[in-house]
Amino acid sequence: MSTNQTVVGASASLRAVISAATRGLVEREALVEMVALSAVAEEHVLVIGPPGTAKSEAVRRIARATGGQYFEYLLGRFTEPSEIFGPVDLHKLKDGLVETDTLGMLPEADIAFLDEIFQGSTAILNTLLGILNERVFRRGHTNVRCPLRVCVGASNSLPEDTALAAFADRFLVRCFVDPIPDPMLEQLLESGWSLNQPVELPTAGLSDIEVLTGAVRKADMSGVRQLMAQAIRTLRGAGITLTDRRAVRAQKLIAAAALMAGRDKPTEADLWPLIFVLPTREQQSLGRDSLRDQLSATENATLPIAAEEASLGPLARATRVAQAARQILSERPDNTNAEQDRAWRLQLEGIAREIDAGFVPEQMPAELIELRVRIIEVLGQSS
């Protein structure tokens, strides 16, 4: 089999895995896709959002689907380094060697999820830096290579402390998540209940990710380098400055996106990961608007939700809200069942609130305006 066929085969396997892993995760599809993209690019992800928003479940799905060694931990002020990296090996300590027993701990993980990551002590974060940057764990006499593909850190908010902000910069990808909106509560409850049931996932295997990672390292970026530079200039013109390090490393995400889409080398359709490299929610929103023309050619069959979210922003949300509105309107229950009618009307009211909260009138897409008018008319009718 040729190298190109091997890459295409690995991409197809990963596509099936991502599709299955996102099933039932309401409004978290983009997060799953970005974790998978980051694993291929050998970069790390920082997820910002309130507790209880399925951040860890999204990461677990990818870990299970790839069959990789998974490590997860909730950090606190009093978390000891041994809880993350492993205890000191007492047998070797008797011989005067301070070595760490890393069995089953983060240094042996392929995929890791660290919740409340900025709560970690200085000792933990300093040791973690070596693993994130160099894939090397150093502690006492221990100095070992780590197989880590991607580390996902989670927090309720971005840190304001300068030292923590510098640590956060080691996470190239930024994903911001919110609680599920009113119109999708039924889907949330149904999918949340189904989490109690075992989910069968096809397995891509870490070997497929490694094939794609190898291709990323050799990717020909010459065709998009000028386009990428122009996009960065546009961002600078809008007041958004990417550090040199983030700009250079973003190329790996763009190369990975192209390969996962089945392309030999990146094109203008693969520039969209730049949005997820922007450090804050506000910068990402402004970046979408500033790069709307450059990202108009965005297309990725393997990572469709993340690509759409990056290139369209509010328009992607409008599309999903419109789809939900049309579906609910088409499912009007029999008027003889008062309970079902009340539940149905509550869903419509949730849609109306979502439209009003998410879009100012002068910027509301025409389709949403029409649907809102229709919803208000229906709600005004007697049951």
pLDDT digits (tens, 9 = 90+) for 101-149: 899 999 999 999 999 999 999 999 999 999 999 999 998 888 999 999 9
**pLDDT tens profile 358-371:** 777 877 888 889 99
pLDDT at 188: 60
pLDDT at 47: 96
DSSP string of 41-68, one letter each residue: HT--EEEE--TTSSHHHHHHHHHHHHT-
pLDDT band at 373; cut points 50, 70, 90: very high
| Phi, psi for 150 (deg, rounded to 5) | -155, 135
The secondary structure of residue 109, as a DSSP letter, is -
Distances (CA, A) of 20 to 14, 26, 64, 127, 246: 10, 13, 11, 35, 31
- 13-194 folds as Rossmann fold (3.40.50)
The angle formed by the CA atoms of residues 212, 214 and 219, to the nearest 5 degrees, is: 85
Task: At 7, list the tokens.
Answer: 């890459």
The secondary structure of residue 88, as a DSSP letter, is B
pTM above 0.75, yes or no: yes
**pLDDT tens profile 169-194:** 999 999 998 876 666 666 666 666 55
Average pLDDT over residues 262-276: 94
pLDDT at 382: 63
pLDDT at 94: 67
- 150 pLDDT more than 90: yes
Strand 142-145 and strand 150-155: pairing?
unpaired
pLDDT band at 1; cut points 50, 70, 90: very low
Percent share of the chain, pLDDT over 90: 52
**pLDDT tens profile 222-238:** 999 999 999 999 999 99
pLDDT at 353: 87
Average pLDDT over residues 24-45: 91
Q: Report the chain's mean pLDDT, rounded to a whole number.
A: 87
- 10 pLDDT more than 80: yes
Average pLDDT over residues 269-282: 96
pLDDT at 85: 96
pLDDT at 189: 61
Distances (CA, A) of 217 to 206, 211, 249, 267, 313: 16, 10, 11, 16, 29
